[in-house]
Structure 1
Amino acid sequence: MKKVLVVGASGATGKLLVADLLQRGLQVVAIVRPCSSLISVVENHANYCEIPASITELSEQQLLTHLSGCDTVFSCLGHNLTLKGIFGEPRRLVTDTIKKVSRVIESLAPATQLKIILMNTSGNSNRDIPENPPLSQKLVIAVLRVLLPPHVDNEQAADFLRINIGQNHSHIAWAAVRPDNLIDEVAVSAYTIHASPTKNAIFDSAPTSRINVANFMANLATNADLWATWKGKMPVIYNDV
């Protein structure tokens, strides 16, 4: 049975991802915020293991124990949309977590590459390929880099995977999923995947349901052909409307 680790599992997208993975018969280890248990949500599923802890406070040795036997790590981490969440510590929550996870994977030295699937944002450009966002978007993003630490965190997390892990790492492969304007829907619907954004992420954003993001991330982990298509890339997802 495949075993996977989900960090940020108690978030709005994370809990949907956990449910999707369990439905596929995977063994899921979920790191959730203390006092944010999903046990009642997943109905005490036999394949579900919950770790109530802040990812920033887990030691690398503890994380190694939870990662042992996994073939995929999902990050659905994000900053709470409060003053403390946006401007308080940890300002590099996503980046520091991706770096920590990568160090632990390297220490495990798995025989086959372990996947990291990161939920990112369409407002972050993939600088591995020619992407030329509209000038209006570039200007706003430049301001966000100065004013909103979470945006920089998302950029740096993806950049770490692009630059430091790269395309030919011995033990790690990765993909960074870029949803656009996140919305809530109750069921998976049709969606499209693109190599680069087709919309202005600031002034012409398109809806992307969280449950579709969770579905695509789960598909990446379980569909070998899909993974081969998007490995080492930053796919953009939109609802097909």
Structure 2
Amino acid sequence: EPKTDISLPHKLLQAKEIKERKKILRENHQNAEVEGAAWLQTVLIPLEEARAEWEKTSGPFHKQRVAEHCGIFRALFKGATFTPWVTQRLECSQEDKHPVLVCCGNMVTVSEVPPAVSYEADKGFLWTWLLTNPGKRMDIERSKVFVFRTNSPGNAIESGKEICCYSPPFPAVGTGCHCFIFLLLQPDCPVDFSKGVWQTPCHSLKMGTFSTFDFSRKREAAVTPAGLACFQCQWGSSIT
């Protein structure tokens, strides 16, 4: 049975662009100099350029498959799927070490410092950003929210309204790895929490139970998921 696609509208690669990419690939395969460098392991690849190209082309589809495999769509949207067209860049600081980049399910240790977030988004839209954890059973009705910010204009996330202030993840001892999900949403109009059940800003973990499905489908404004990143985390000695 085909799943409901709730992705943002997006322009896919045209046949001409695909043909050009295949032409470059074919030329590289026929290039003796490139082949020799590959055999000698001396070929240099501009990783930043390669990643930027991947994020614009194949990356969103790869992230979608990872999320499907991990049960994220089932937990957050009752099985409806989407392609994360908007790229998020998230770095978690860990004491004196280099920042750890949040990718697609990589392991990240617990940190007291909130992640540094950036994304490329249209300035003409408002955006909602949250960090949630459906728990070990990936429960759709009992996700915990660890940060929630709404009505951010363009990529100015700090200009949005803070609904739930940041709380570091705290997976319980002996429960293994937990999946923490960064979700970027695009509402059709400003999100109003004045009549909600949450006291804003919300500092209570007990009040932080949240249903992404209800938020995106049962409010007056339609909310479309646009970006996705996730990491795994387990109990560590820093959790007290």
Give the TM-score, by structure 1 length.
0.29
**Which protein is richer in helix relative to its size?**
1
- Higher radius of gyration, 1 or 2: 2
**Which protein is richer in strand relative to its size?**
2
Give the TM-score, by structure 2 length.
0.29
